[in-house]
Amino acid sequence: MKTIKQKIGVIFGFILFFFIPFHVQASEYGEDANVYTKQLIQQYATGSSMEEQSQALQNFLLDRIHYMGYNPLEYPFVNVENGAYTGKNIVFRRIGLSEKEIILEACYKGNAVGTGILLEMANQLAAQTELPYTIRFLLTDMETMQGTKQYLDQLTEEEKANIVASVSFSTMDGQESIQMQMAEQEEYQWLGKQIQSIADQIKISVPVLIKESSIWEQNQIPHVCITASNTYSQLRSAAMLLDVWIGNASENVDTAVISEQYLKQHGTELQMNQLTFYGIPVEKVIGAIVIAACGACLLVFFFQIEYAIRKRKRKERY
């Protein structure tokens, strides 16, 4: 019996000192986006009218943004196509080393994946220091970029000139990997090429499509749109790519190199997230194996205990 108890102690020690620390660490790329996406899909089902649904979505977003430590600003506007409905943009920012800004944008109506990715980026960047640029998060209301137009129309020319680049996130069901839509104007293509150079360095496949001029280019702001479907692997790829790019972004150059300082801070996490088994991070696979192995060992030893008890009772009986 003593030997069996010792073995059980070893198993529980193994669980406490290996398995738990293995999992109590910073969340992986894509995990937050996956959770936010599911929550947003649930929010879309609330409310019997457009106004009620919008209010529920806005309350949900504001609650999450406040929880991350940001102070969001709300910008209501009247829909130019339907004066009976008032839209609302939500804007907040993370101060960087430079006052120049990178805008991360997603329409929160019917765009759970894009909004989920933006929220994960906000959550990740809230704790990061020494960002090269100030990051402005823009959650827009209305489709067909009406919310984006309303936001840009209220900016001064000086404020627009202060924007280095803009990246939008959008949902695209059915695609096999994340994709990037890049401006057709050559003077704005440096942004897409720079993000592509980061993708190549961290071994993420990102097919590039050429898009027509949007409201961003019309305001002389370089822009790309990252599209992803609602799969964990694509959410993970998008979050990883944007996090690495933001930490190493440079203005008006075709390539960006991941800095030594960034690798010192994020290298281990980056390497772990690059290792996958059929699209599942290796860490999760190992964790599942550890759980199964521990469970099997415990079952074996419990059976041994039961067998030892029965054997002892038989001896006492005779």
The string of DSSP letters for 60-123 reads HHHHHHHHTT---EEEEEE-SS-TT-EEEEEEEEE--SEEEEEEEEEE-SS-HHHHHHHHHHHH
Domain identity same for 88 and 237: yes
pLDDT (tens digit per residue) in 284-308: 555 566 676 666 767 777 777 777 7
Cα separation values, 199 from 19, 98, 115, Å: 32, 24, 21
Share of the chain above pLDDT 70, in %: 77
Q: What is the mean pLDDT of the chain?
A: 84
Distance CA 223, CA 167 (A): 6
**What is the domain range of residue 308?**
2-21+283-317
Domain identity same for 261 and 195: yes
Residue in 181, 280, 262 with CA at minimum distance from that of residue 222: 181
Domain identity same for 159 and 297: no
pLDDT (tens digit per residue) in 94-129: 999 999 999 999 999 889 999 999 999 999 999 888
Domain identity same for 89 and 121: yes
Domain identity same for 9 and 73: no
Q: Return the number of other C-beta atoms located less than 10 Å from residue 8's C-beta.
A: 16
CATH of the domain at 33: 3.40.630.10
Would you say residue 39 has pLDDT above 90?
Answer: yes
Domain identity same for 181 and 310: no
Domain identity same for 184 and 291: no
* Ranges 23-32, 41-50, 59-68, 281-290: which has the least confidence: 281-290
Domain identity same for 172 and 309: no
pLDDT (tens digit per residue) in 198-213: 999 999 999 999 998 8
């989920």: which residue's tokens? 116
Q: How many domains does the chain have?
A: 2
Domain identity same for 287 and 261: no
Domain identity same for 251 and 119: yes
pTM above 0.85, yes or no: no
Domain identity same for 15 and 33: no
Helix (H/G/I), strand (E/B), else coil: 252: coil
- Strand 208-211 versus strand 179-183 pairing type: parallel
Domain identity same for 249 and 312: no
């088994």: which residue's tokens? 277
